[in-house]
Amino acid sequence: MKISPAETVCAHDAVPEAILFGATPAMQNLRSRVNRVAATDVPILIEGESGTGKDLIASFVHARSPWNLSRFVKVSCPAIPSALLESEMFGYERGAFTGAKEAKPGWVELADGGTLFLDELSELALPLQAKLLQLLQDGQFSRVGGQAQQKANVRIICASPQRLEEQVRIGRFREDLFYRVNVVTLRLPPLRERRQDIPALTMYFLDRYNTKYGRGLSGLRPVFLRRLCLHDWPGNIRELENVLKTYVVLDADEAVLDEMLDGHKAYEPERTANTSGVSLKSMTREAAREVERKVILDVLQSNNWNRKKAARQLNISYRSLFYKLRDAGIPSKRALPLTIPPVSSEGD
């Protein structure tokens, strides 16, 4: 059965619980809250900025619940036009619309006995909010084009990067539905509010990507670890993961890592796009510069930092490579491999 863009993957499996929750008081509170509510049938709302781990927590809750015997179905609300979303989510009967040659069950039925994870719930169109309200109230729904009411036993978890309450206030989200989905709220703190977890996360990602890509980078010097701890991380754990992944994949040195942190904008595309007053031209220029920087780094790396060879491969003069390196702030030589740091509780 084709179910895309809903997914039925439990993503948290790969992440050890100690890493998933870390050690900060806010995350420890969250952990005990999760353990208390996972096995109950109350709907859960997970709020947190992008990249804070909402998906991971949702699948963790599913795994710890009696609904884990059936599927975890993730529905990305904005990924599909609302007209289509209704029929995909609730299914349809034969002849319900042109092209509906056969009846088809929707994701709600697919998740029967399991968990339905509605991601970016605030993007759900108002007519669908009404149908979801009914599902939450009495577990009933009807397929598109169908008269019969059907029952589904699903655990509902919702996630929103925005405060849903605010969406209610501006009239984009039904208040009655808000109270239904918001029985238990799990608020994930941004990474900048749990900086003491950064060293452990760093070691975890270095280890993970070293293994995955067969590299031998064993750690960072405390000075760089501190740099990571003090960075703002607008893209949260996803951004940290991406930076460390790039670092491992490129087999780069810490100077490059330093540069990546300086190139702050490269990791906040959504912020840039949403900022009013930023011209399209400057955004495009910034993006092009970032791509160029990545390509140059890659080519330098594959040529063992031999700039002549790299310039040849890039089909530019040695001189222009030199200027590009300078403008991009890339060190013109690969620094010596740096030593292993004792990773402790550096941070705030």
Question: Judged by CB under 6 A, does residue 26 bind ligand ATP?
Answer: no
The pair of structure tokens assigned to 96 is 């319900």
Site track 293-312 with ligand ATP (rule: CB under 6 A), x = hit: --------------------
Question: Interaction with ligand ATP in 222-261: which residues (CB under 6 A)?
Answer: 237-238, 241
Tell me how many degrees the CA angle 25-65-126 measures, rounded to the nearest 5. 85
Least Å distance, CB 238 to Mg ion, is: 9
Q: Of 14-22, 61-69, 96-104, 210-218, which part binds ligand ATP (CB under 6 A)?
A: 14-22
d(CA 93, CA 104) in angstroms, rounded, equals: 6
Q: Which one among 6, 7, 10, 20 touches ligand ATP, defined by CB under 6 A?
A: 20
Q: Which is nearer to ligand ATP, 92 or 233 (CB)?
A: 233
The tokens 């710890």 sit on which residue? 64
Q: Which is nearer to Mg ion, 49 or 55 (CB)?
A: 55
Q: Which one among 43, 106, 114, 161 touches ligand ATP, defined by CB under 6 A?
A: 161
d(CA 7, CA 106) in angstroms, rounded, equals: 13
Among Mg ion, ligand ATP, none, residue 194 binds (CB under 5-8 Å by kind): none
Q: 156 forms bridges with which residues in the sheet?
A: 116
C-alpha 222: how far from chain center: 27
Q: Which is nearer to ligand ATP, 19 or 96 (CB)?
A: 19
Least Å distance, CB 267 to ligand ATP, is: 13
Least Å distance, CB 54 to ligand ATP, is: 3
Amino acid at 6: A
d(CA 111, CA 156) in angstroms, rounded, equals: 10
Q: Which is nearer to Mg ion, 187 or 289 (CB)?
A: 187
Closest residue to ligand ATP, based on beta-carbon distance: 53
Question: What burial letters (b/e) apply to 97-125, b meaning 16+ CB within 10 Å?
Answer: eeeeeeebbbbbbbbbebbbbbbbbbbbe
**Contact in structure between 90 and 103 (CB atoms under 8 Å):** no
**Category of 49 on φ-ψ map: left (φ > 0), alpha (ψ -120 to 50) or beta:** beta
Q: Which is nearer to Mg ion, 54 or 194 (CB)?
A: 54
Question: Judged by CB under 6 A, does residue 53 bind ligand ATP?
Answer: yes
Interface residues with ligand ATP (CB under 6 A)?
A: 15, 19-20, 48, 50-56, 161, 237-238, 241
